[in-house]
Chains A and B, each alone.
Chain A
Amino acid sequence: MSTAALSPAPTARSSRSDAVFRWTFRFLALAPIALIVALGVELYRASQASRLAFGWGFLTGSAWDPVFDHFGAWPFIFGTLVTTAVALVLAVPFGVGTAVFLAEVAPAWLRRPVGYLVELSVAIPSVVYGLWGIFVVVPWLQQTVEPWLGQEFAWLPLFQGAPYGLGFLAAGLVLSMMVTPFVVSLAREAISSVPRSQSEAAYALGSTRWEVVSRVVLPGARSGIWGGVLLAVGRALGETMAVTMLIGNRPAVSSSLFAPGYTLASVIANEFTEATTPVYTSALIEIGLILFAITLLVNLLARIFLYRMSRPMGGTA
């Protein structure tokens, strides 16, 4: 970095020890890169039996039959997409709204405790969300929310069938609680990084507070908000324990949110140690490979948005 130019002319011995130091640390620092590569290679290698047996059809096949060793990942891909969609439909608007409230509206004494609570919700273990979901959210959905939705919105295919409690809706709802803090904290950061002078200029032109927020602040914070949303997507896709405890664990494709389902992560958590044949294990590892590839892609996209945000913006920063 910049100080390197300031190094004094070193003696032979010190420059050798410095080189050892530098190379040792470079080697150690490459661990994250090496781990990502190793993860990909190992998952690819260990899923070979399944890839050979089912080919690309694995992605679209909907059979999941351990008895006859026939496996397809479609019900899990479907379940992952549905729960992630439910989570985001709730997390994005509420998360951005909360971020606006915290950054622009809330009185100073309220910001700190609310911000702390939001951060705390990231630290709560997934399995605790699942526990709470089983004993509080599921009975509430089953007895109150789902019968009401089924009655009032009976014409929607989303709300059909018996109120089962465990299912896409329960998993998606708790998942939305778990990913909202990512949206809130990144959107909040992005909002406060919009130069004050821009909103002041808008106020000077006679804008109301909401007009400043919606036409100046939010557009300026766009790439940070997108980054937060994508991070939330990445979390939602890979979230395991809470979803495993709430989704009902049935490899079925259904248009109703009341129905039980399964996700990529939860089938691994639930069946991995019980897999009896090599092909079964290999199919579960291939599901892990799918999950790895998707989340890696989503996270790289998220980081591109976030790095763009951290660079100084046009105008006075």
Chain B
Amino acid sequence: MKRPGRSLSLRRKLTSRCMLGLCGLCSAVVLLPLLLLLFYVARQGAAGLNWAFFTQLPAPPGASGGGMANAIVGTLELLGIAFVLGVPLGMAGGVYVSELANEHLVLAVRFAADALNGIPTIVTGIFVYSLVVVRMHRFSGLAGGLALAIVMLPVVLRASDEVLRLVPHSYREAALALGATRWRVVRDIILRAAKRGLVGAALLGVARVAGETAPLLLTALGSSQWSLRLDQPVASLTMQIYSYAIAPYDDWHRQAWAGALTLIAMIVVTSAAARAWVGRRT
């Protein structure tokens, strides 16, 4: 009577081992291509980087040399516009949701922010095209920045909402008990207490949109010149990588890899900083 029991339990133990081993294998399969990608970008990108890449304008098609200086500056311009438009609005939403709203509205705004976050960014691009580019009769950095701001908004809203909810409830109660108005409580107590976290939330928004390409194609269009005016087309690293990657020139491929490395470095630094700021709670 003992034997079947023992072999049964052996089989169960083996099954358990095998299945959990398979789970480990799954992780390896998930991680391997990711590591390969990072390895390729680092290797090819480092080989493609040089001084000209950061300081020169793109070379004409087929000619070698040149760089992505205008695209790097353009990316910073677009992120700047997106920051100015998207961060205050996102944070205002975060403040409202975590501090002021009734329960129904909290749910509705969070739900809408999450839904907006899931809408493909190319659709946001069409929206801004139809709203701004068509009316202004031209592609512009302003339209590109606006598209990025719309993509950024829900990220900043949800992140600042979460950061603000970490401020201990006793702070609010103490301030209210001293006779402060809601506005004073938010301005003098909550926002100060959550300052670090809010910086993190803003950086998180920036990191989220820094790698966007699709909405920019329909709004900022891209350019091979310096873009000093915001009502003109603006270049971005992402669009430059895209057009260089699908072009038939080896030197452009080299620069596309260099651009990818630069872009990933920017994003990793920003999101690491965001994490550090958010993580260091008061």
Are A32's CB and B153's CB within 8 A? yes
Are B30's CB and A32's CB within 8 A? no
Partner of B181, one of A14, A209, A231, A272: A14
> What is the number of residues of chain B that contact chain A, defined by CB distance less than 8 Å?
96
Partner of A29, one of B15, B93, B267, B268: B93
Q: A210-B19, A268-B126 are in contact. Are A32 and B154 (CB under 8 A)?
A: yes
Are B176's CB and A214's CB within 8 A? no
Chain B min CB distance to A224 (Å): 15
The interface residues of chain A lying within 8 Å CB-to-CB of B106 are: 1
Distance between Cα atoms of A143 and B214 in the complex (Å): 30
Count of CB-CB pairs between chains A and B under 8 Å = 284
Partner of A245, one of B102, B173, B246: B246
Distance between Cα atoms of A129 and B26 in the complex (Å): 20
Are A114's CB and B31's CB within 8 A? yes
Q: A131-B260, A269-B214, A272-B218 are in contact. Are A303 and B115 (CB under 8 A)?
A: yes
The interface residues of chain B lying within 8 Å CB-to-CB of A26 are: 96, 100-101, 105
Tell whether B27 is near chain A: CB-to-CB under 8 Å.
yes
Tell whether A261 is near chain B: CB-to-CB under 8 Å.
no
Are A298's CB and B100's CB within 8 A? no
**Interface class of chain B by DSSP:** helix
Q: A32-B93, A240-B214, A241-B242 are in contact. Are A105 and B24 (CB under 8 A)?
A: yes
Are B119's CB and A299's CB within 8 A? yes
User: Which of B19, B101, B118, B257 has most A Cβ within 10 Å?
Assistant: B118
**Cβ < 8 Å to B, chain A residues 90-104:** 93-98, 100-102, 104
Are B126's CB and A25's CB within 8 A? no
A-binding segment of B55-63, B205-213, B223-231? B205-213
The interface residues of chain A lying within 8 Å CB-to-CB of B176 are: 3, 6-8
The interface residues of chain A lying within 8 Å CB-to-CB of B35 are: 117
Are A269's CB and B217's CB within 8 A? yes
**Cβ < 8 Å to B, chain A residues 121-144:** 121, 123-132, 134-136
The interface residues of chain A lying within 8 Å CB-to-CB of B120 are: 237-240, 265, 291-292, 295
The interface residues of chain B lying within 8 Å CB-to-CB of A24 are: 92
The interface residues of chain A lying within 8 Å CB-to-CB of B24 are: 101, 105-106
22 A-B pairs, CB-CB below 8 angstroms?
A: A1-B106, A6-B173, A7-B182, A8-B176, A18-B181, A21-B186, A25-B96, A28-B89, A29-B97, A35-B153, A38-B127, A95-B26, A100-B26, A118-B30, A125-B213, A126-B214, A127-B211, A128-B211, A238-B121, A268-B218, A272-B129, A288-B126
Other than the given A126-B213, A302-B118, 4 more pairs (CB < 8 A) read A1-B100, A123-B271, A127-B213, A291-B120
Chain B contacts to A: CB under 8 angstroms: 12-13, 15-17, 19-20, 22-27, 29-31, 33-37, 40-41, 44, 89, 92-93, 95-97, 99-103, 105-106, 108-109, 111-127, 129-131, 150, 153-154, 157, 169, 172-173, 176-177, 179, 181-183, 186, 207, 210-214, 217-218, 221, 238, 241-242, 245-246, 253, 256-257, 260, 263-264, 267-268, 271
